[in-house]
Homo-oligomer: A and B are copies of this chain.
Amino acid sequence: MAKNKEVEQGIIFSKGPKNNAFAKYFVGQSYLQGLVEDPDVSVSVGNVTFEPGCRNNWHIHHNGYQILLVTGGEGLYQEEGKPAQRLKAGDVVVTHDGVKHWHGATNDSWFSHIAITAGTPEWLEKVSDSEYRKAEENAK
């Protein structure tokens, strides 16, 4: 039974539709509700919801950064070469320019965060099942 099922309904911000545009950069099902996409604003803002076990591929934000504001459920965040971190509602993560990383739900919980993004993403390889299992086991 998945934990934090209420996240599936959207926590404060709409869950939005299936995230088809980026599906090839994810393992599992995610949902994306765009919140700000404005040519006069240097960041984009979106609400991302992950079903249990869903995570995005390793990726890098070039000439920019990403801020995650966790709104619900339980998630994981990992930068290359570092142990994964466990995330819960109210947590904030800053990913700096050029840092290879991934984020997603834990295996048994829905997860949602607001993402504030600047720069250009470079999408890399999938987070393999063994990398994901290891993150789950070791995350604090």
Contact = CB atoms under 8 A, between A and B. Distances in A.
A38 interface: yes
A89 B47 CA distance: 14
Interface stretch (A10-18, A50-58, A127-135): A10-18
Interface in A67-120: 67, 69, 71-72, 89-90, 92, 94, 96-97, 114, 116, 118
Contacts of A96: 40-41
A43 interface: yes
Interface of A: 11-14, 35-36, 38, 40-43, 45, 65, 67, 69, 71-72, 89-90, 92, 94, 96-97, 114, 116, 118
A69 B97 contact: no
A24 to B, nearest CB: 27
A69 B38 contact: no
Nearest to A38: B94
Nearest to A71: B12
A134 to B, nearest CB: 29
Contact of A114 (B65, B69, B118): B69
B13 A90 contact: yes
Given A40-B96, A67-B36, A96-B40, A89 B45 contact: no
B43 A43 contact: yes
Given A11-B12, A13-B90, A90-B12, A40 B116 contact: no
